[in-house]
Amino acid sequence: MIQFLDEMQEHFEKEYPREGCGVLAVIKGVLKWFPCDNVATEEDDFIISSKQYIDISHRGDITAIIHSHPDASNEPSETDIKYCNATGIPYYIFSYPDMELNIVQPEGLPTPTLYGRDYEFGVNDCFSAARDYYITKGLDIPFRPLFEDDWWEKGLDYFTDDYIATWGFEKVEGNMQKGDLLIFTIRASVGNHCGVHLGEDLFYHHAENRLSCRENLYPFWKKYITGVYRYAT
């Protein structure tokens, strides 16, 4: 990584006084540095452009999420630690301008508790609920990139067939089966919610401003299903 320090410093200088951010990724066996746009609204925060993140993740394996702490120490904030654990990817935090590095490793996830979780976008939301359900069934579901909140209002689409295929699922037609991933499109033009079919008329999900729960698909939810996906292996 030392070969990228000058480029990183230039990027952090360009972003100053906002936090600069980017990722390291292995592309065809070669480590590369990708500076990214910080789309956070707060000056002392960072959110990597999810479009850039997804584009990079399609090209290779992201090995580190990098950001600067302008005029501050490289100690991780509570938010840094929380999202490092949520993404499952190491955080490389540089103090700026002195460029001292602190590497924060994600903590191992215990077997998750599925029901009654408080909603927090990017940590406990519909995707993490579905991912954690599959983890309890022994499936290896990859961590997701940091989705942008309200992405369906910003011209972004995370629940495409190709992207869902990277999680190990393929689209199916016909009757739903227990364990199928359900994509919902609710008052939007693209999918903006997901859940897991539990058999009969029940599904498991985590909606905004609610606790994670199992719920009946009828009469409300069924009409919003726009995709059914099954784990391919």
Query: Annotated catalytic sites, by residue?
Result: 126, 193, 205
- What string of DSSP letters covers 143-208? PPP-PPTTGGGTT-----HHHHHTTTEEE--SS--TT-EEEE--SSSS--EEEEEEETTEEEE--T
CA 133 to CA 167: how far, in whole Å? 14
Cβ–Cβ under 8 Å, residues 163 and 138:
no
Cβ–Cβ under 8 Å, residues 19 and 40:
yes
Residue type, 182: L
- For 224, the enclosing helix (H) or strand (E) is none
CA-to-CA separations, 71 to 128, 140, 213, in angstroms, rounded: 33, 40, 43
